[in-house]
Amino acid sequence: METVYWALTDEEGLAGWWTRNVKAPPGVGAVIQFRFADKGFNDMKVLELQPNKLVRWLCVDGAKEWIGTGLSFELKQNNGSTVLLFAQRGWKEEVEFMHYCSTKWATYLLGLKSLCEGGKGTPYPDDIDIG
Amino acid sequence: METVYWALTDEEGLAGWWTRNVKAPPGVGAVIQFRFADKGFNDMKVLELQPNKLVRWLCVDGAKEWIGTGLSFELKQNNGSTVLLFAQRGWKEEVEFMHYCSTKWATYLLGLKSLCEGGKGTPYPDDIDIG
């Protein structure tokens, strides 16, 4: 649980599964900058931090479809395992890009799982091409 | 496009990415039986078939949260690539199982992509454990 929370809040943790190019000042109110070279970028404002329980971000800049969406990572304990519930809510329209992102998120989250279990994630630019 | 449509409609195709234990009578109105041994099962009624364009199913039996949900696979051509838009709609509640299924779907869909590109899918029981 601590490891997952670390991966969601620490700059080195985030760099291990989403993108290697990340600047993550700590604390609520901070804006985390995720960069994906020519693939784009996004800025996430940290709205809420409940250690080992909940992380919430608001996308304040990036792809136009993402701006204003809220991202949440909820951690639960289940039979000794940590369950991570992720959601990106507030899409204005159900666009093709949303479907793309949904599948792409799964690849990053599986990388996050691997990272937290002692393996490696698949952060950009080592991310999985979903075509 | 033909290959993807095959993988979504043919018994052998479906067995290549979702579960090896599948019975898939052809045509609209047929009920496809997907079996996952002790992990569960589901029956999908085929609602619509537009060759190389659209496949729609209605879940008529299986996990209680799934019954009544509609599944759609929409195919599009984009710069010579086939884009597959998948959705499972009509969940009554945003339960934890829905988040689980969302990520699990991504693993099956990536397997479907691999299968259609000449590789192998990850059908049950060779599916990817998402924990």
pLDDT tens digits for A55-112?
Answer: 999 999 999 999 999 999 999 998 889 999 999 999 999 999 999 999 999 999 999 9
Predicted confidence band of residue A131 (pLDDT cuts 50, 70, 90): confident
Query: What is residue B1's predicted lDDT score, i.e. its pLDDT?
Result: 87
Dist. CA A57–CA A29, nearest whole Å: 9
pLDDT > 90: what percent of chain B?
93
Predicted confidence band of residue A21 (pLDDT cuts 50, 70, 90): very high
pLDDT > 70: what percent of chain A?
100
Pairing assessment for the beta strands B54-62 and B41-50 based on DSSP bridges: antiparallel
Query: What is residue B79's predicted lDDT score, i.e. its pLDDT?
Result: 87
Q: Which of A76, A105, A130 sits opposite B110 (nearest CB)?
A: A130
Mean pLDDT, residues A4-22 taken together: 98
Predicted confidence band of residue B108 (pLDDT cuts 50, 70, 90): very high
Contacts of A106 in chain B (CB under 8 A): 102-103, 105-107
Q: Which position has the higher pLDDT, B1 or A15?
A: A15
Q: Which of B87, B99, B130 sits opposite A87 (nearest CB)?
A: B99
b (16+ CB within 10 A) / e for B23-44 = ebeeeeebebbbbbeeeeebbb
How many angstroms separate the CA of residue B29 from the nearest CA in chain A? Answer: 27
How many angstroms separate the CA of residue A107 from the nearest CA in chain B? Answer: 8
Q: Which of B85, B99, B105 sits opposite A85 (nearest CB)?
A: B99
Structure tokens at B118: 């000449």
pLDDT > 90: what percent of chain A?
93
- Say whether A60 sits in a helix, a strand or coil: strand
CB neighbours of A94 closer than 8 A, spacing ≥ 6?
A: none
Using alpha carbons, select from B69, B61, B20, B23 the residue that is nearest to residue B42. B61
Contacts of A103 in chain B (CB under 8 A): 105-106, 109-110
Q: Which position has the higher pLDDT, B131 or B12?
A: B12
How many angstroms separate the CA of residue B103 from the nearest CA in chain A? Answer: 5
Predicted confidence band of residue B97 (pLDDT cuts 50, 70, 90): very high
Instruction: Indicate yes or no: CB of B103 within 8 angstroms of CB of A109.
Output: yes
Report the predicted TM-score, pTM, of the whole model to 2 decimal places: 0.88
What is the residue-averaged pLDDT of chain B?
A: 96
How many angstroms separate the CA of residue A3 from the nearest CA in chain B? Answer: 16
Contacts of B87 in chain A (CB under 8 A): 99
Query: What is residue A20's predicted lDDT score, i.e. its pLDDT?
Result: 98
Structure tokens at B85: 């838009």
- pLDDT at B131 exceeding the cut of 80: no
Q: Which residues of B touch A (CB under 8 A)?
A: 76, 81, 83, 85-87, 96, 99, 102-103, 105-107, 109-110, 113, 128, 130-131
Query: What is residue A70's predicted lDDT score, i.e. its pLDDT?
Result: 98
Query: What is residue A91's predicted lDDT score, i.e. its pLDDT?
Result: 96
Using alpha carbons, select from B78, B58, B83, B61 the residue that is nearest to residue B69. B58
